[in-house]
Amino acid sequence: MISNAKRGLALALSLVLAFVMVLPMLSRPLYVPASAATTEELKQKIANLDEQIAASEEKIAENNKNKKEAQSSADSIQSEVDALQTQISAYNSKIDALNEQISSLNDDINSTQKDISETEKKLAKQKESIGDTQKLLGERLSAMYKTGNVTNLEILLEADSFASFLNRLELITRISKHDSDIIATLQEQSAELQSTKDTLESQQSSLQASKQEIQSAKSEQQDAKSQIVSKKSTLDTKVNTLNGYIEELDADSAELESYVAAARAQQQAYMNSINAQLAVTASTGTGTYVTPEGGNGTFVWPVPSSHNVSSGYGYRSGVGVSNFHYGIDITGAHGAEIVAAAAGTVSISANPCPHDYPKNYNCGCSGGYGNYVVIDHGNGLLTYYAHMASTACGVGQYVAQGQVIGYLGCSGYSTGNHCHFEVRVNSSGDRSLTARNPYNYF
Ligand SMILES: [Zn+2]
Ligand SMILES: [Zn+2]
């Protein structure tokens, strides 16, 4: 089923490409397949996107760096702001305490004022009483004198007898004394009230003085506070500016990230379409058991003990990069036998790599192939077997199909034990032109 679908797709593609590719074909060497130009175009698009993704990621990294700097400035200014806020709070509580004192003084002043008013009222009443009493006395005396409209002396002289004179005199004197006593008492009380009032007024002015003092202390604190407030407001503005800048950077990065995501999706679409043209599915992960179908039957499987393919021929995407995988990766046990896919002459048998262990970097040996073998099968057909623990054949040696030529390992640019099996036609040159899908040969 799968192979029928693949053939159907390949047929459909070749029909389409037959028209599309006529012009490019004229300017290319004959061995380039009909689909190469479209593949080339797609590869170019993928490479362009790689560049744009790299540029975007560089910008994102720059944004992150700027953001970090801005954040650290904002944080340090914010801690100054916090310190100022602590000072402001301290001033506020001082001012609150002073306000409380002022309010309590105001209460005292009001109550003293009330006392003064009451005292004044009492004083006024006393004065009125004194006036009334004096008036009454005057009226009484005048009533006594008025009877004969005479003077004091005349009253005395007009007395019928000395006894009567004495009686009258005594009466007058007693009345007069009584009223004078009343007046004296009233005046004494008045004086006391006046003295109370004076005391209250002096208390009042000392309260007012205290209030003045506290108010001036309060305005000192308020001045000091407003200086700190204005300092803080300047710093607040700076923090806001930095936060705005950080937001802009975040927005820019978010935009770039969504662009990168879209670009990667686009790349994946291009890769899928190239892989569809190649009629292969690049597998990833630890390995997928593969039974090659649809090939021409020329080759036997190069790792008899394992059919696990961790990565197929074609486009694959890695961390931030897309690349074309020019062979298939067959995972297996370290030291597993690797055999010649077909009979031929060993043209390369290299054992330069001592780095036969899992690693996450390219030791660079043999350009990443590590220890590897190349067999020339004639008619320009070459097979490559890379990342061996060691080779088991010599250059110029003729090997039969299925003959052991080396052992599976992890040398060169390899993170885990596997055999990278690659097929090239016509030349060992530029892989992008000479590599072929190995599945076409099994
Ligand atoms: Zn090495
Ligand atoms: Zn590989």
Q: What is the pLDDT of residues 139-188, one digit of tens each?
A: 776 776 555 445 566 666 666 666 776 776 777 777 778 777 888 888 89
What are the residues whose beta carbon lies below 5 Å from ligand 1 (ion)?
Answer: 353, 355, 363, 365
Q: Which ligand places an atom closest to the C-alpha of 329?
A: 2
pLDDT at 256 (0 to 100): 96
| Residue in the structure block whose two tokens are 């690693």 | 359
Residue 4 inside a domain? The answer is no
39 and 184: one domain? yes
Q: Ligand 2 centroid vs 417 CA: distance in angstroms?
A: 11
For the CA of 364, the nearest ligand: 1
Cα pseudo-dihedral 77, 79, 85, 87, rounded to 10? -110
Residues 6+ apart with CB under 8 A from 70: 242, 245, 246, 249
Strand (E) or helix (H) holding 412: none
Q: Are residues 262 and 305 in the same domain?
A: no
Q: Contact at 8 Å (CB) between 64 and 257?
A: no
- Phi/psi of residue 144, nearest 5 degrees: -65, -45
The pLDDT tens digits of the residues spanning 58-107 come to 999 999 999 999 999 999 999 999 999 999 999 999 999 999 999 999 99
Of the ligands numbered here, which is closest to the C-alpha atom of 357? 1
Nearest 5°: the CA angle 357, 362, 363 is: 70
**Location of structure tokens 């503005």:** 237
> Is residue 235 within 8 Å of 87, Cβ to Cβ?
no
Task: Return the ligand number nearest the Cα of 355.
Answer: 1
| Single-letter amino acid, residue 11 | L
pLDDT one-digit tens code per residue, 274-328:
777 665 443 333 445 455 555 678 899 999 999 999 888 888 776 566 788 999 9
Residue 309 alpha carbon to ligand 2 centre in Å: 10
**Would residue 62 count as lying in a domain?**
yes
Ligand with smallest separation from the Cα of 327 = 2
User: What digits encode the pLDDT tens for the residues 147-156?
Assistant: 544 556 666 6
Distances (CA, A) of 355 to 24, 286, 368, 427: 44, 21, 11, 28
Cβ atoms within 10 A of the Cβ of 322, count? Answer: 20
Instruction: Among 82-86, 219-223, 373-377, 436-440, name the one with the lowest average pLDDT.
Output: 436-440
Q: Are residues 31 and 108 in the same domain?
A: yes
Instruction: Please check whether residue 2 lies inside any domain of the structure.
Output: no
Q: What does the radius of gyration of the chain's CA atoms come to, in whole angstroms?
A: 58
Q: Residue count of the chain, please give it.
A: 442
Give the whole-angstrom CA distance, residue 379 versus residue 368.
27
pLDDT for 145 equals: 59
- For 296, the domain range is 280-442
Low-confidence winner among 290-294, 303-307, 424-428, 434-438 (lowest mean pLDDT): 290-294
User: What domain count does the chain have?
Assistant: 2
Percent of the chain clearing pLDDT 90 (strictly above): 55
Same domain (yes/no): 198, 299? no
Tell whether the model's pLDDT for residue 10 goes beyond 90. Answer: no
- Centre of ligand 1 from the C-alpha of residue 386, in Å: 12
Secondary structure (DSSP) of 162-180: HHHHHHHHHHHHHHHHHHH
Burial of 78 (0-12, 13-18, 19+ CB in 10 A): middle
Q: How far away, in angstroms, is 362 Cα from ligand 1 center?
A: 8
Cα 387 to ligand 2 centroid, rounded to whole Å: 9
Ligand 1 centroid from CA 358, angstroms: 11
Distance 59 CA to ligand 1 centre (A): 34
**Ligand 1 center–CA 411 separation, angstroms:** 6
Does one domain contain both 50 and 186?
yes
CATH of the domain at 396: 2.70.70.10
Same domain as 237, residue 99 = yes
The domain that contains 222 carries what CATH number? Answer: 1.10.287
pLDDT at residue 246 tops 50: yes
Mapping DSSP onto H, E and C, the string for 334-363 reads CCCEEECCCCEEEEEEECCCCCCCCCCCCC
In a domain, 1, yes or no: no
- Residue 273: per-residue pLDDT: 80
Note the pTM of the prediction, 2 decimals: 0.55
- Boundary (domain end) residue, out of 254, 278, 302: 278
User: What is the CA(325)–ligand 2 centre distance, in A?
Assistant: 6
Residue 226 and residue 309 share a domain: no
Same domain, 65 and 175: yes
Residue at 414 is within a domain: yes
- What's the pLDDT band for 212 if we cut at 50, 70, 90? very high
CA–centroid distance, residue 147 to ligand 2 (Å):
152
The ligand with the least distance to the CA atom of 372 is 1
- Please say if the pLDDT value at position 33 is more than 60: no
Q: Nearest bound ligand to CA 331?
A: 2
Nearest 5°: CA angle at 412, between 54 and 57?
Answer: 10
Residue 349 Cα to ligand 1 midpoint, Å, equals 15
With beta carbons less than 8 A apart as the criterion, state whether 388 and 352 touch: no
What share of the chain in percent tops pLDDT 70? 80
